[in-house]
A and B are shown apart, each in its own frame.
Chain A
Amino acid sequence: MAHSETVTAAGSNEPGWQGIVTDWSADKQTFQVPWGKAMMWIFLLSDTFIFSCFLTGYMNVRVSTPVPWPNPSEVFGLNVFGVDVPLLLIGIMTFVLITSSGTMALAVNYGYRRDRGRAAALMFITAAFGAIFVGMQAFEWSKLIIEEGIRPWGNPMGASQFGATFFMITGFHGLHVSAGVAYLTIVAMKVLRGDYERRGYEIVEIAGLYWHFVDLVWVFIFAFFYLW
């Protein structure tokens, strides 16, 4: 098991509970990580609460309606060459996001190796996968709105709360992906330009935390909204 060898004040890097007590009680910085990383984690914590409230609200309206809930497997299915494949587009979107998570993890690794060409290239690839994801979501939304007639206040398949929760949850997630694409592109350009040669490449890991979080939220949306 690898031990944490984080930056520490002298004699305060004990592991376990003793470490927690020392980190929180001593008159010093609590989190022994760059401040940007601590702030990103705290932001992600707040975002966790927002998405959890959305998903809990979705659970509440789905439980409380006596009208049958539309079957997501059929609503999000696609007809490919005459064959109905359930959840096809959503499946592909899931794989696109997982792929982008992998390239992001590699970008962080190359950043710390100070291989800024590869780090930036991998970040651009990650952003491109994110853009593909948003594009597919736009296609999904258009299909549901125009062809299926799903509205936030009702739809032809069942419980009228379906549209409201769907557009709010996936829309808020899509907004996060779009913001992530912009964020990654900006950071990647700065990495490529060599802005972090002196400051170090923690910024790639911080951007990576945000990106992995977006993927993480999708894991829950996929499970509770599309599969349940």
Chain B
Amino acid sequence: MSEATATGQQHPLKLYFAIWILLFVLSAASYATDFLDHGFVRWGLILLFMTLKAGFIIAIFMHMRWERLALIYAILGPPVVLLVLIGLMAVEGEYTELTRLDFFSAPLVPAGHEAAH
């Protein structure tokens, strides 16, 4: 049986090998998304494989699954506020792009090669 005891996290080796193989499979799958066209299917799969990999690493390899809730929520709770930052910066980025398109609608060429205006 898996258990977290006073002597530390001790779990069967079989579990680690299973997760290890799973991580290899998920890595291969996320690498394979590179052969898809850009679009919602590709982005969805990238996010799916990323979330699964991150989840297995945290839950099993970092033993979070067997920790007490007091620790789990103290560590996994705070990063949730980052979603606010990400949301704000996405909105801000869109706004900046629109502003740039509005004010600098010169031909779009790589930096350093712009025509003088």
Contact = CB atoms under 8 A, between A and B. Distances in A.
Task: Describe A's contact surface by its main secondary structure.
Answer: helix
Contacts of B61: 101, 104-105, 208, 212
Contact of A66 (B35, B47, B108): B108
Contacts of A61: 93
Contact of B7 (A17, A56, A105, A112): A112
Contacts of B27: 91, 94-95, 98
Nearest to B31: A91
Interface in B63-113: 63, 66-71, 73-75, 78-79, 82, 85-86, 89-90, 92-94, 96-97, 100-101, 104, 108-112
Interface residues of A, number: 79
B74 A60 contact: no
Nearest to A57: B89
A61 B16 CA distance: 39
Interface of A: 2-7, 13, 15-17, 19-20, 23-24, 30-33, 38, 41-42, 44-45, 48-49, 52-53, 56-57, 59-68, 73, 86-87, 91, 94-95, 98, 101-102, 104-106, 108-109, 112-113, 153-160, 200-202, 205, 208-209, 212-213, 215-216, 219-220, 222-223, 227-228
21 contacts: A2-B66, A23-B70, A32-B70, A49-B79, A56-B86, A56-B89, A59-B89, A60-B92, A60-B96, A66-B104, A101-B57, A104-B61, A105-B60, A160-B111, A160-B112, A208-B61, A212-B61, A215-B57, A219-B50, A222-B30, A223-B46
